[in-house]
C-alpha cells in the first residue's frame, strides 16, 4: 500500500476528485491510502437530496461548501478539525461491506490513545455511545473505495447548524441520513494528550497502525494526475448540476399566510428544476395560477427563483411580494 500525498490541500472538491481519479484510473492491483482534511463543507451521499439533508441557506451564508461524493450513505460535515481517511484498493467481494477490515486498524489506533472506540452495527466508530466516525463505500468492477470521517476536534455546533433534521414538508425516495449523537475524539484524551496531540501527530498514529511501520511508501501525484483531477473538479465537483440537481426528484408542500390570506404551495422538482407547481387554499385566483404557470421550468435555486419572481411580478397581479412568495416555495 502507498500513501497518497495530496499536498495539504483542503478543498473538498479537489480531494474527492483525487479519490475518484485513483478509483477509476489507477492500476487495478494497486493499494492506496489517503488522509486529508477539508475546509468547512457538507459532503452528500450520491443518492441523497441536498434540500432534505442540508440547511442550504445557512451553509451558503456561512461559506460552507456543499459537495456530492460518488459513494452512498449519509451526509457528513467536514472542517479543519475532522480527518478523512480513504482506502482505495482492488475490488474484492470479501471486502465489500466488510467495514471491519478497513476500520480495525483505525479502532486500534484510537484505543492506543485511550479512546473507548468500537465499531457499531451501522459501521460507524463509536466512543462511549457517541459517533466519532461515519463510513461509506463505493466500488467499480475493478476497484473500490472505503472512506470515512474522524471527528478529532471539529466544531460540533457548526455540524448541527449545517445539517437538517428530517423535513416533513419534503417527500422523496432519496437515501436518508441517520442522525446519531456525535463527539470529538479529543474529548476522550487526557489533558496531557490534548496538549501534545495535534492533527499532524494524530495522523502519524493512524499511519503507524495502518501500515504497521514507520517507513511509509508515498505516491506523489504526477502532472498528468493533476490534469485529470483538475478536470474532474471543474466539470463535476464544482457544478450545481452534480452537487444540487443530482438530487432525486422530490415534492415540497408549504403553507403561508400572506396579507391575511392563507396560501398553500405544492411543488414537484426534478433534476433541479420545477416541473409542477400549484397554489391552493385562498390562493386559487387567476393571479396565483398565472404565477404557477410562469414558474414551471424554473431552476430550483434561491437566487434564481428570486430573480424569476421579480421578473413576473407585474404579470401575476398577486398582492404578495417576491420575498413573501419565495418564503414558502423555498426550503
Domains with residue ranges and CATH for the chain: 2-245 (3.30.930.10), 250-329 (3.30.390.50)
Q: Give the pLDDT band (50/70/90) at residue 261.
A: confident
Q: Rounded to an integer, what distance in angstroms lies between the CA atom of residue 326 and that of residue 331?
A: 9
Residue 282 has pLDDT above 70, yes or no: no
Residue 317 has pLDDT above 80, yes or no: no
Q: Per this entry, what is the length of the chain?
A: 331
Backbone angles phi, psi at 197, to 5 degrees: -100, 100
Task: Give the per-residue pLDDT at 114.
Answer: 97
Residue 283 has pLDDT above 60, yes or no: no
Higher pLDDT, 53 or 176: 53
Q: Rounded to an integer, what distance in angstroms lies between the CA atom of residue 14 and that of residue 227?
A: 11
Residue 80 in 3-state DSSP? coil
Averaged pLDDT for residues 306-327: 83
State pLDDT tens for residues 208-248.
999 999 899 999 999 999 999 999 999 999 999 999 999 99
For residue 100, how far is the Cα from the chain centroid? 23
For residue 138, how far is the Cα from the chain centroid? 15
Q: How far, in Å, are 160, 169, 283, 285, 324 from residue 261 at the CA level?
A: 34, 20, 7, 12, 12
Write down the pTM of the prediction. Answer: 0.93
Q: Give the pLDDT band (50/70/90) at residue 284.
A: low
Q: Rounded to an integer, what distance in angstroms lies between the CA atom of residue 108 and that of residue 314?
A: 65
Residue 40's CB: how many other CB atoms inside 10 A?
A: 22
Residue 270 has pLDDT above 70, yes or no: yes
State pLDDT tens for residues 39-78.
999 999 999 999 999 999 999 999 999 999 999 999 999 9
Q: Give the pLDDT band (50/70/90) at residue 207.
A: very high
Amino acid at each position: 500500500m502507498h500513501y497518497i500525498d495530496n499536498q495539504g490541500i483542503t478543498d473538498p472538491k479537489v480531494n474527492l476528485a483525487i479519490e475518484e481519479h485513483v478509483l477509476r484510473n489507477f492500476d487495478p492491483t494497486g493499494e492506496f491510502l489517503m488522509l486529508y482534511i477539508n475546509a468547512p463543507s457538507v459532503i452528500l451521499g450520491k443518492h441523497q437530496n441536498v434540500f432534505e439533508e442540508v440547511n442550504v441557506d445557512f451553509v451558503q451564508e456561512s461559506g460552507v461548501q456543499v459537495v456530492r461524493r460518488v459513494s452512498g450513505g449519509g451526509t457528513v460535515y467536514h472542517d479543519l478539525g475532522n480527518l478523512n481517511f480513504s482506502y482505495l484498493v482492488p475490488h474484492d467481494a470479501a471486502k465489500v461491506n466488510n467495514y471491519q477490515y478497513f476500520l480495525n486498524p483505525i479502532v486500534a489506533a484510537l484505543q492506543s490513545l485511550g479512546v473507548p472506540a468500537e465499531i457499531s452495527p451501522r459501521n460507524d466508530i463509536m466512543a462511549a455511545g457517541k459517533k466519532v466516525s461515519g463510513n461509506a463505500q463505493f466500488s467499480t468492477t475493478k476497484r473500490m473505495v472505503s472512506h470515512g470521517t474522524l471527528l478529532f476536534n471539529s466544531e460540533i455546533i457548526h455540524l448541527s447548524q449545517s445539517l437538517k433534521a428530517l423535513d416533513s414538508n419534503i417527500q422523496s425516495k432519496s437515501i436518508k441520513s441517520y442522525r446519531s449523537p456525535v463527539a470529538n475524539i479529543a474529548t476522550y484524551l487526557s489533558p496531557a494528550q490534548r496538549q501534545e496531540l495535534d492533527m499532524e501527530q494524530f495522523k502519524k498514529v493512524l499511519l503507524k497502525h495502518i501500515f504497521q511501520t514507520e517507513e511509509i511508501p508515498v505516491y506523489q501525484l504526477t502532472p498528468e494526475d493533476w490534469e485529470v483531477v483538475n478536470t474532474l473538479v471543474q466539470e463535476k465537483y464544482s457544478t450545481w448540476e452534480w452537487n444540487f440537481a443530482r438530487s432525486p426528484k422530490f415534492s415540497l408542500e408549504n403553507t403561508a399566510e400572506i396579507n391575511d390570506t392563507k396560501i398553500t404551495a405544492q411543488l414537484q422538482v426534478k433534476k433541479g428544476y420545477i416541473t409542477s407547481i400549484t397554489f391552493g387554499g385562498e390562493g386559487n385566483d387567476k393571479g396565483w395560477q398565472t404565477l404557477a404557470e410562469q414558474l414551471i421550468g424554473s431552476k430550483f435555486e434561491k437566487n434564481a427563483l428570486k430573480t424569476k419572481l421579480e421578473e413576473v411580478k407585474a404579470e401575476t397581479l398577486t398582492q404578495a411580494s417576491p420575498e413573501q412568495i419565495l418564503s414558502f416555495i423555498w426550503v
